[in-house]
Amino acid sequence: MAQTKTKSRFIGWFAPIILLILWQLSIVTGIIRFRYFPSPVAVAQAFLRLANSGRFYGNLSHTVIVTLVAWIIATILGVLFGLLIGLSLPVWKGVMASVDVLRSLPIIALVPVGVIIFGFTLRLEIVIATYAALWPILVNTVSGVRQTRSELLDIGRIIRMSRVERVWKLILPSALPLILVGLRLGLGLSLVLAIVTEIVGTPNGIGYALINAEQALHPAQMFVYILVTGVIGYLLNGLFIFSARRILSAEKSAEKN
Amino acid sequence: MGERSRNDPVNGSLLGQGDSVFEVEDLTVSLQTGGVDRTILSSLSFTVANNEFLSVVGPSGTGKTTLLRAMAGLIPYSGSIKFRGSQLSGPAEGVALVFQDYVNSLLRWRTVGRNVSLGVEGKLPRDECDQRVTEALEVVGLSKFKDSYPWELSGGMQQRVQIARALAMNPQVLLFDEPFGSLDAMTRESLQDELLRVRAHYQTTCVFITHDIDEAVYLGDRLVLLAGSPATIKYQLDIPLSDERNQINTKESNEFLRLRREVHGEMRRVHGTNQDEV
Ligand SMILES: Nc1ncnc2c1ncn2[C@@H]1O[C@H](COP(=O)(O)OP(=O)(O)O)[C@@H](O)[C@H]1O
Ligand SMILES: [Mg+2]
């Protein structure tokens, strides 16, 4: 068991390392010859230089904070409205068509609209990132709520639970797995859209630094920021899965006593 | 009606001998299917006596579940359902329901103990609540599994959890909707015996729906046959078997065989086919 795991880990790292080596070789040997295509070594050097500058961390934390703030707002709004829509058949019938239209609009197309309204501000960034994260959270909450088994709802009525109790003890826990899926999708989207607004013009964050590096003709730096984006996405996702597991097992151990 | 109800020291004094727990009169239920009102149950009249075990049999799709949901106060009806003398207008205190689908009736995120406490938590003082749970789990033989999760248990055990949850509420009436229908034959028989034992312990009135005629006769004090579209009561039968029932002796007794033959005959007559398992 343990051996297979180590093995698959090894294989997981194997491909990117080979790729990096090939990349380096093809540049050193001159097989690839673009003017602004850096070698992995150049990227690594750029990273070390950046890592020693304060600006780098400022941009990094800006993007992470915006992502998290937007995601938290989206979570509150999404779960709240998701519950509202999922719990009431008339509301569901009334708004679901609009929800489906709104969430199908490509969010990127809305960025220019946001720029006109808010300018290149922090508010723009948070609004766009929140909007992006809102839909998967809302839609998943709605379907989670609506998928609550009829047996559970009947039991709630027979036990004569209050409406709040029914939501809290039966409906929300039933919907939790789907809500968590929505939260995870939302987190990824909120990061992507934060970076997009920075690329478009908000003067802060990873996206902004990336564009600056481009305009300064610093391709190695650009690659550093791209990789950093990937790492942030990976870590946020990992952190989310970790806390989701903790929440679920805390729920379990709380039940045990 | 069986012997049990006559010697009932607990509920007997409360209601008086032979008083009805449920009085159903002219019960008609219509449900909407695809925008069209369909009459499912038409003009049913029957009573359920205190501490009686009433079996309800009928082909599937007849409306047995619908009848039980009406008696649980879950769906609107016309006619009259009186529970303990007053008209039913929603779920009543003292009525508990056990579903066939135990997997979806239990809270998978709660332990067995916390599933059983669902109906009493917050309504009783903490220690009384714990006591109810402990007793109910003991009666169904699951004390050791209090801290397990439902999905860690076998189907038969999960169904016992559901029964324990109903018992913990100390109901006067237990409504069962084909509770053993998805269990294998062996588990089913042991749960039948367990149900008889549990019922003797708690002195609960039971309405038990099944499409298995043997089960209906084996468990019941009385049997009601539901059939037709819309469903009506086609036939009622007293089951004068002794209270000491067991799988081998009872099911091989002449009386049991006579009763089951009679019910099978009635079923065939109203349904037009041989209905062993419908
Ligand atoms: N919620 C509902 N809405 C509309 N029709 C229903 C509903 N539940 C059951 N029915 C219909 O009522 C009839 C009786 O169903 P049911 O009471 O479940 O039968 P049984 O339990 O005897 O198998 C079936 O034809 C079924 O399609
Ligand atoms: Mg049914």
Q: Give dist(CA A164, CA A171) in Å, integer.
A: 10
Min distance B105 CA to chain A CA atoms (Å): 5
Greater confidence, A257 or B163? B163
pLDDT at B250 over 60: yes
> Do the chains contact at B111 and A255, CB–CB below 8 Å?
yes
Which residue from A149, A158, A252 is facing B97, i.e. has the nearest CB? A158
Would you tell me how many other CB atoms lie within 10 Å of the CB of residue A197? Answer: 28
CA of B46 to the centre of ligand 2 (A): 19
- Would you state the pLDDT for residue A122? 93
- Would you state the pLDDT for residue B229? 86
> Do the chains contact at B114 and A169, CB–CB below 8 Å?
no
Residue type, A51: A
Tell me, using a 6 A CB cutoff, whether residue B31 lines ligand 1: yes
Tokens for A136, please give them.
Answer: 């998967």
Instruction: Find out whether B165 and B135 touch, Cβ atoms under 8 Å.
Output: no
A29-60 residue pLDDT tens? 888 777 778 888 888 998 999 888 888 899 99
Q: Give dist(CA A127, CA A45) in Å, integer.
A: 36
Q: Nearest CA to B56 among B192, B190, B227, B240?
A: B227
Interface of A with B in 48-67 (CB under 8 A): none
Number of the ligand 1 atom closest to the C-alpha atom of B67:
17
What confidence category does residue B5 fall into, taking pLDDT thresholds of 50, 70 and 90? very low
Would you tell me how many other CB atoms lie within 10 Å of the CB of residue B185? Answer: 8
- Would you state the pLDDT for residue A251? 60
Instruction: Please list the ranges in chain A whose pLDDT falls under 50.
Output: 1, 255-257
Would you tell me how many other CB atoms lie within 10 Å of the CB of residue B103? Answer: 16
pLDDT at B9 over 90: no
Average pLDDT, chain A: 89
pLDDT at B12 over 50: no
Burial degree of A216 (CB within 10 A; 0-12, 13-18, 19+): exposed
Q: Nearest CA to B29 among B69, B76, B61?
A: B76
The domains of chain A are located at 39-256
State whether residue A257 is helix, strand or coil.
coil
Q: Cα angle at A94 between A90 and A100, to 5 degrees?
A: 130
* DSSP code per residue over A193-229: HHHHHHHHT-SSHHHHHHHHHHHTT-HHHHHHHHHHH
Alpha-carbon torsion, ordered A8, A12, A14, A20, to 10 deg = 180
Tell me, using a 6 A CB cutoff, whether residue B229 lines ligand 1: no
The average pLDDT across B148-162 equals 94
> Do the chains contact at A160 and B91, CB–CB below 8 Å?
yes
B78-124 residue pLDDT tens? 999 999 989 999 999 999 999 999 999 999 999 999 999 999 998 99
Which residue from B99, B119, B147 is facing A159, i.e. has the nearest CB? B119
Q: Give dist(CA B144, CA A175) in Å, integer.
A: 29
Full-model pTM = 0.84
Min distance B208 CA to chain A CA atoms (Å): 17
B44-60 residue pLDDT tens? 999 999 999 999 999 88
Burial degree of A102 (CB within 10 A; 0-12, 13-18, 19+): middle
Tokens for A236, please give them.
Answer: 């946020």
ipTM: 0.85
Please write down the long-range contacts of A234-241, taking CB distance under 8 Å and 24 or more positions apart. Answer: A236/A64, A236/A67, A236/A187, A236/A188, A236/A191, A237/A184, A237/A187, A237/A188, A240/A183, A240/A184, A240/A187, A241/A184
Tell me, using a 6 A CB cutoff, whether residue B131 lines ligand 1: no
Q: Which of 3.40.50.150, 1.10.3720.10, 3.40.50.800, 3.40.50.12780 is the CATH number of A39-256? A: 1.10.3720.10
Nearest CA, atom 2, ligand 1: B31
